Structures are given as C-alpha cells and as structure tokens.
Structure 1
Amino acid sequence: MRSLSLLTLCCFSPLLFAADVPGSQDLPIVPRLADAQIVDYRPPVELERVYPLGSIRKISGQLRFDGQVSARGQTTSVTYELPPEHSATEAFTVAREALQKQGAELLFWCQARDCGESSLWANEVFGNSKLFGADEQQAYLLLRLAAPKDDTLVALYSITRGNRKAYLHVEQFEAATPLGELLPTSATLLRQLKDTGDLQLLRLKGAPDDNWLRLLSRGLNLDTTLRISISGPSAEAWRQALISQGVRAARMETGSLEGTGLHIELLR
C-alpha cells in the first residue's frame, strides 16, 4: 500500500521534486513567481556588454539594431521556467511593475515581432538557447535603476517556446564607469503610456528640454487617437512646446496632479 502511494506521488506531483540549479539564487530586486524554477544561473562576472535599444536582425552575418547601450561591468543572470499556471506575459509584467515601483526608468520595451527574431535574442544577446521560441510570444525590456544605483541596468526577456514552456530571463548589469545620460525610445514611451496609463517623468522639473520634447512629440504622434493630461510645475509650458512640435492642441489638456516632475496621464 505504501509503495502504491509513493508511485502515485511521483507520477502526479513532479513539482515537489523540482529544484533550482545548484548554487543559484534570485536577484533581490525582482520577485519570483510561485513555483517558478531557476533553470539557468550565471553568477557575477565582469564582461563587455551590449544591450539593444531596437528591433534586432542579422545582415551579412552581423547583428544590427537601431540603438544600443554598451559598457563594461558585472553581469548576473537568472532564467526561470514558469509553472503551467503562470504565463510568460504575467511573469514579465510582475517583474516590470516591481522594478518601476522602485523607481526604475524604462529605456526600451518591445513585444512580439517588434523585437525581431527570438533566435537572435536567445543566442546572440543572452547566449542561452533555452530562450529560443516563437517570435510572437516574446517581450524584452531594458530598465535603468533609480539613483543612487543609476549605473545599474536590468534586462527582462520572456518567451514561450513551441512546447508551451514559458521562461523569464532576468539580467542585472552593474557598470564599472558612469553610464551618463540614457534616453528611452519614443515607441517605448508610447507603449508605457498605453499599457500603464501614465508617464511619471520625475527628472523633468523645469522648462521643456529639447531632447525630451522630441521624444515625447514623436511618441504621441505615433498614435494620433490618444488624448492626454499634462501635470507638473511647468505643465502649460510643456503643452505649448508639444503643440509647436506638431501634437494637436485638442489632444492635450493641463491637469491638476501635484508633485515634482512632469506627469502625463492617458485620458480614457
């Protein structure tokens, strides 16, 4: 009778015997979903690292993308295999929201075929064949942590493979020298606005900045159906500046949200 019980347990409760790869551990800044298993762990090592800021493709044997962040520093990575009850999208969202609550800034965010080929992300960017799956089932995000840890980047990559197994890859990079100014892409600002409903740009405390003005106007004009509210100490100045950059006045209104920096809210 006891042997039958053990056989039943082995057949129907495999997660009870699942274990993380030896020596692995979570990154403290990103929570682990329940029952997720670490299937690949790479401890801190100093590397020259390149993170794409655009869709990737290969032309004449060379990896190509529109922009990048490149620096030398310490890299640590963790790859989770997710249990069937959690999707790759869910794990990606939980990780993103946790990092944003810590003040991390989004630099580049793509999903599905907008990212390029999954095989290139898996093998060329992250060097991990477990991350190769369907192009339409992937997402990538590069974030910069808030000061005083603003020389640290975090890359998230989620994928669902053809066998329906889902993975989340988390990579933390601590630059050896200051990263300097890093700006998000216009498409990333638009994706963040549409997905989360707002943009909290705490560094934009004064008069309109030319670089940010170009990024915001381009992002808003990628979807001319959106209407927004702009709040902050210089909200009206930003609204007028965006009008001068070709964003229709009828799409924007001045809001009343208090706080430092520029706050852009999507009007539903």
Structure 2
Amino acid sequence: MAIFHSFLRRTSSFMLASAFFLPATVFADEIAPFPNATLDLQLKQSVTSYPVISSSMKKVNGIVTADSEQWLDGSLDRKLYLLPSGKSSDEAYRFFTEQFKKLGVTPVFSCERFSCGGSNFWANNVFDIARLYGLDKEQAYFLGQKEVDGKTAYYLTYTVRRGNKREYALVDIFTAGKAKALKRNQVVLPTLPGSLSALASSDAYKALLKAFENQSRPLLITVESASAGRVSEVDSLSRQLQEIQTLLQSKLREDAISSSRYRIQSIVGDQGEGTLHWQVLQ
C-alpha cells in the first residue's frame, strides 16, 4: 500500500506545471473537447513518477492512501476544462469515457460519487490541482489503457462539481516510457530572461504563476543557470542571476503576489541548460 505524505507528494519529481514541451507518443488532440467548454489548463511534457491510480482514495490514521497504484515515468498530455453553464460534470464524464471506448481503450478502474473517496485527495494528493477539489457526491473517475506503438498509454478523466457550482473535467493521456529525470516543478530556461517582458512571456514564469494559483503556502523559488566552464563565466552568470531575481521580484509584485508568499534563491548550475523550479515551504 502506497502512502501519500502531503509534503512528499509536493516535493516529488512529478512535474505538474505547464512548461517545457516534450514529445509524447499519444496526444489528447485525438479526444474532442467538451462543447463550448473553456480550456483552463493545457500541458504536454515529460514527467517522472506520474500516479496511475486504480482504486479509490482514502485516509487512514491521518494518511492518504490508495490500495492499487503505480508511479511511472513517461509523457503526459493534460487538458483541464471548465464546463459551460448548464452542463454537468456527469455529462462530461460520459462524453469523455465514450470517446475512450471508441478508441479501443480497455477500462481498468472507475468510480463515481462517494465510492471514489474524498475529492480533496484527488485534487491535492493525486493531480495537485486545487480547483478540482469539489463535492464528493459530484465526482467521477475513469482509468483505462491501450497499447500504442509497443507502449502502454493510460487514458483517464476526473470530473467534479465544486461548491461554487463550477464544474470541471480533467483529461490525461499518459504514455509510459523513459522520462528525463527532472525535479519537481522544474521548468527549463533556454535563455536567462533579461527584461520584464521576456520574463513575463516565458513558459517558466507562466508556470510559476499557475503554481501560486494552486498553492496557498509559500514557495521557495530557485533560478538555476547553465553550467560554467571558466571563472569569468561564473562571474557573468552570477550577475545575470542577480538581475533575474530582481526582475522576478518586480514582476511578482506587479502581478499582486505578496513577498510573504515566496523566497528566491539563485545558483550557477551544473547542467547544459538553466532551469526555474520551486518547492512548497511549511
């Protein structure tokens, strides 16, 4: 039985922030979007330790657990839809599972309403998307699998109605396979942004803002440069990193993110590319 410690799950290696886009074997584009729904989140990326859950979630002695699960590396294609007014999460569940079946996806596990366990477990411990936390009686989950080009692709949807009456549908297609080992919430920085506009338009900053939307606790943000081969390069990169820290502070302040919600550090890295990553502080 796997144990989902809250802190461990939030500092594990699974990337859930929209970021550096990498090729996947199977794409969610083959799944039609729910009519008139708003695409609230979209990402395609390589991930490590993706949770393939094939049982309901429960809490025993203060610990969130699942009786049947796997943690796999591979490629993820994710889409989160905000459903239009007048349409229910149940309708979305039927809409997506019917498409899965037409594609030849074999059901592995499904649950509805209270049999899924607490919605907060799915939202916060499995998907790490806070706005998926809704009513236990208005949720549904489906997991299926299909062999594609010699690899196992997992198709899942989780739908829920929130207390504020907003209804969401998450669609994940995860293709198991070797993944690049990346840190939790790590976003590649091909170049270190040198201006507020460059920072604001970067995938890294957009992913960071999403993290603030989904997380109420403070974040430790780390800006890591590419490796340096000479002392002069270390000096130059150190100056750039200091400038980026200042840019980050200015941009976060501009976007109404209080300084009490984060701390920033920077380091000269040891890889070929720079990264921006963050972790949740207690």
- Residue number in structure 1 paired with 2:160: 159
Q: CA deviation at 1:68?
A: 1.4
Deviation readout 1:60-118 (Å, 9 max, x if unpaired): 44321221133211122111000013211111111101110110000000000000000
| Structure-2 separation of matches of 1:30 and 1:130 | 22
The residue type equivalent to 1:39 in the other structure is D
Distance, in Å, in 2 between the alignment partners of 1:42 and 1:61 is: 32
* Residue in structure 1 matched with residue 175 of structure 2 by the alignment: 174
Partner SS, residue 167 of structure 1: strand
Aligned ranges 1:1-268 → 2 under 5 Å = 27-148=28-149, 151-176=152-177
Verify the 8 A CA contact 1:110 1:141 in the aligned structure 2.
Answer: yes
Secondary structure (helix, strand or coil) at the match of 2:29 reads coil
Amino acid at match of 2:29: P
Q: TM-score, normalised by structure 2?
A: 0.51
CA shift for structure 1 position 43: 2.5
Verify the 8 A CA contact 1:35 1:82 in the aligned structure 2. Answer: yes
Higher strand share: 2
Normalising to structure 1: TM-score of the pair?
A: 0.54
**For 1:32-59, what per-residue CA distance to the aligned partner results, in whole angstroms no more than 9, with x for missing partners?**
1221011122321222112221111122
The Cα of 1:125 is off from its aligned counterpart by 0.4
Q: Do the aligned partners of residues 149 and 93 (structure 1) sit closer, same or farther apart at CA in structure 2, a change above 3 Å counting?
A: farther
Share of identical aligned residues, percent?
A: 26
Letter paired with 2:74: G
The offset of 1:169, in angstroms, is 0.3
2:33 is matched by which residue type in structure 1?
R
Distance 2:30 2:49 in 1: 22
**Shift of residue 150, structure 1, vs aligned partner:** 5.1
**1:164 partner amino acid:** K
Deviating more after overlay: 163-172 vs 147-156: 147-156
Q: Give how far 1:124 is off.
A: 0.5
**Matching residue's letter, 2:57:** I
Residues of 1 paired with 2:144 and 2:114: CA distance?
Answer: 20
**TM-aligned CA deviation for residue 155 of structure 1:** 1.5
Structure 1's consecutive aligned runs of 4 or more residues displaced over 6 angstroms after TM superposition are none
Bigger relative contact order, structure 1 or 2 (CA pairs below 8 A, ≥6 apart): 2
Indicate the residue corresponding to 1:182 in structure 2.
Answer: none
Q: Looking at CA atoms only, which structure, 1 or 2, has the larger radius of gyration? A: 1
Report the Cα distance in structure 2 between the residues aligned to 1:176 and 1:130, rounded to whole angstroms.
Answer: 29
Q: Kindly tell me the number of residue pairs found equivalent between the two proteins.
A: 156
Distance in 2, matches of 1:45 and 1:70, equals 14
Secondary structure (helix, strand or coil) at the match of 1:28 reads helix
Could you tell me whether the CA contact under 8 Å between 2:151 and 2:176 is conserved in 1?
Answer: no
Measure the CA separation in 2 of the matches of 1:77 and 1:138: 18
For structure 1, list consecutive stretches of 5 or more residues without a partner in the other structure.
1-20, 178-268
Distance 2:133 2:50 in 1: 20
Report the AA paired with residue 59 of structure 1: V
2:155/2:173 contact within 8 Å kept? yes
